[in-house]
Chain A
């Protein structure tokens, strides 16, 4: 079911935002964990 070229932009934006949130969030979580371990050394 093809969509017109101007439609579906919201889905594209949502996909890019979700990707940034998941991967950036995971990286941030590891960075905070690394800081916590470093401060307890």
Chain B
């Protein structure tokens, strides 16, 4: 196992421990919101999952642009790894969202702009994975998937802005917005702690996934 994979696994372990601490903080030390009750606490794990998913998909796009420019296969491998990690966080986002929506909105899902475009982004990266499995030639695979990755990157800011551009049930941003965050101190601290824990975990998973993909490719090339 390479040093990068070992470091990635170590950071992943730290991220998981930090996430466990966030669970304790969110469940035991944040107040119960008056209007939404306990389901509001889903917010502490849903918002950071969305942040990590969009960050990962942005990294796919950036690595894809760099790949098309520099033609370095490591960038293609990094983009693939970021897409996989982004899909894991998307899955968290797309399951915790409806689990909050059902008790608060009264429905699991609604086809409004934010939810629909988020689902579209998820399926775009499912398609990205399918494309990579379908194309056998490494050069073609990297080129085609880079184009799809860049398209995903273009969608990311659009997904974030859908709550401003369209009438939507989804709440507007309460932290990433032009004015100051509109959240009580205890809730904001728990959210920021969760964002930190998720980001560490994302970095660890991405590092490990990339290192393992690189090791596997080297093993394949040697064999």
Contacts and interface: CB of A to CB of B under 8 A. Distances in A.
The judgment on whether A and B are partners is: yes
29 contacts: A2-B35, A2-B36, A3-B37, A3-B103, A5-B34, A5-B38, A6-B38, A7-B37, A8-B37, A11-B38, A12-B41, A14-B99, A15-B45, A15-B46, A15-B96, A15-B99, A16-B23, A19-B95, A20-B23, A22-B88, A22-B92, A23-B19, A26-B205, A27-B201, A31-B9, A31-B12, A33-B212, A38-B1, A41-B1
A41 B103 CA distance: 51
Chain B contact residues (Cβ within 8 angstroms of A): what range?
Answer: 35 or more
Contacts of B45: 15-16, 19
B78 interface: no
Closest 8 CB pairs of A and B: A8-B103, A8-B39, A38-B1, A2-B35, A15-B99, A5-B37, A15-B96, A15-B42
A33 B1 CA distance: 10
Chain A contact residues (Cβ within 8 angstroms of B): what range?
Answer: 20 to 34
Nearest to A25: B88
